[in-house]
Amino acid sequence: MMQLEGALYPWRFRLVLALLALMTAAIVWRIIDLQVVDHDFLQGQGDARSMRHIPIPAHRGLITDRNGEPLAVSTPVTTLWANGKELQAGRAQWPTLAVALGQEPKAFAQRLEQNAGREFMYLVRGLTPEQGQAIIDLKVPGVYAIEEFRRFYPAGEVTAHVVGFTDVDDKGREGVELAFEEWLAGVPGKRQVLKDRRGRLIKDVQVTQNAKAGQALALSIDLRLQYLAHRELRNALAEFGAKAGSLVMLDVQSGEVLAMVNHPTYNPNNRRNRQPAALRNRAMIDVFEPGSTVKPFSMSAALQSGRWKPEDRVDVSGGTLQIGKYTIRDVSRTGGNLNLTEILIKSSNIGISKIAFDIGAESIYAVMQQVGLGQDTGLGFPGERVGNLPNHRIWPKAETATLAYGYGLSVTAIQLAHAYATLANDGRSVPLTMTRADGARDAGTQVIPQDIAKTLQGMLQQVVEAPGGVFRAQVPAYHVAGKSGTARKNAAGTKGYTENAYRSLFAGFAPVNNPRIALLVVIDEPSTGAYYGGLISAPVFGKVMAGALRLMNIAPDNLPPTLPQAVVPLDSKGGRI
């Protein structure tokens, strides 16, 4: 029958034979191609199933203060991981492994059971190399180690808000660690290794790409000043039962941030019990009405207008001024006529309001904008807020008055400190920096005429040193200038103010004859009865400024004159006559 079929259809039989021959030839050619011509393909496929590239962790860049003191360092740690499938073969060793990891054996066994089908699971992260090696030496099937780095912060809570912290994968998450992530982060390397089908290391072949460490970063912060500010602010909060506080210290001439402290704070080395409120860098994130601390800038606008001179007087008798349905009051009801310096000394809202009515709110707004209030500082700090400096097309009297004495606008502590640094720098605004200023710096922009700035420096010196001034801010052997402020706190979600809730402020600079340091202290909600800035914040200012001037070795400008020694006549033999 088969012969008959083949005889009847010979072309079909030959076609089948030809197809079989072509298939055989294709297979033979492919074998020759893979084994002789393109033998790299099979070798690559074999390597892909046995050769692996494992990452080499990169060392994150060191963060130091301006003097080289470490603020953030990277230390080597060991992370242990496991193959859940392989672990099932060593069940008898689970209790030993749990004890070595510091975990409860029963809960640990349940966790391994739940992950029995996974090929990767973390056991523990951040062990010291010695601890990790001790566990690896137990030779539990399926347990492996990874080399990593962990960030450590030697100054702890003192620099927490400035430096920030990294997450478990060593990526910046807050502060300078986040702002300079690209600069600090290294580039991981690659190492080629040979592993078996179970993923066990057989041979370390070679390093195919070296790890590149991150670059070091020197901050402008002086750790000595940071510790000083941290201690004094913490003591003040405890003394006055305050809710929170901030302190900012700037180098007047270079724009460097020498210290920035906030309370409450946290320990970046142990963040398990941290509170969200403690993570906030209040000096850059919290906005508030600055109150009387902005009166010097309103006074600057008056002097620049040419309509006012320091000796000019304003009638503030009565202690109140009615503007429509609003009543402006002076806390110090001295009455009579005050000159411009006395208006600052007495912090007269009525006096500064009458001056504002005369010169117009537009000129006050212009000065406040030029010194950086309600403006971006350019620091690029994560989460930094700009605040708000209102600008009306037509300024009503009430808004004109409130702007002049520090209400209706919102600023941050760093902005207010920068404004005072500008005033101290003879009216020249220098850009702020969080990194150490090496070499030539931007000379800045003249935003207040030099003669006006120097006049205001003298007026603010009288605010501290004149009878009835803020004597608690004085520093022995130095001339100090500054202004206190007390601002009611806004009620959340409304346009009104919280009852009996205040911010106490004091801002100033020293030494007056050659200003070097600008300093701002903000204390939030003191609860012991007193709340005026001259009572609460001024003492902190005085203590911190005194310590800073000494630590920076700045020459005194207010030493008492030396008494001339009496000349005693001597006889020819050198004896007294």
Catalytic residue positions, numbered: 292
CA pair distance 114, 110, nearest whole angstrom: 6
Q: Over the range 321-348, which residues count as b (16 or more CB within 10 Å of their CB) and which as e? A: bebeeeebebeeeeeeebbbbbbbbbbb
The number of residues making up the chain comes to 577
CA 447-449-450 angle, to 5 degrees, is 115
* 285 sits in which H/E element: helix 282-285
Closest of 434, 65, 353 to residue 222, by C-alpha: 65
Tokens found for residue 37: 């011509």
CA pair distance 562, 110, nearest whole angstrom: 82
For residue 576, which phi and psi values (nearest 5 degrees)?
Answer: -70, 140
* 21 sits in which H/E element: helix 10-32
DSSP assignment of 132-151, as one string? HHHHHTT--TTEEEEEEEEE
Query: With helix as H, strand as E and coil as C, how does 460-486 read?
Result: HHHHHHCCCCCHHHCECCECCEEEEEE
Closest of 391, 417, 405 to residue 357, by C-alpha: 405
Closest of 379, 448, 381, 371 to residue 411, by C-alpha: 371
CA pair distance 63, 177, nearest whole angstrom: 9
User: Which of the 8 DSSP states describes residue 90?
Assistant: G
Q: Which residues contact 107 (CB under 8 A, 6 or more apart)?
A: none
CA pair distance 293, 347, nearest whole angstrom: 9
Contact 174, 164 (CB under 8 A): yes
CA pair distance 115, 112, nearest whole angstrom: 5
Q: The tokens 């975990």 sit on which residue?
A: 103
Rg (CA), the chain: 36
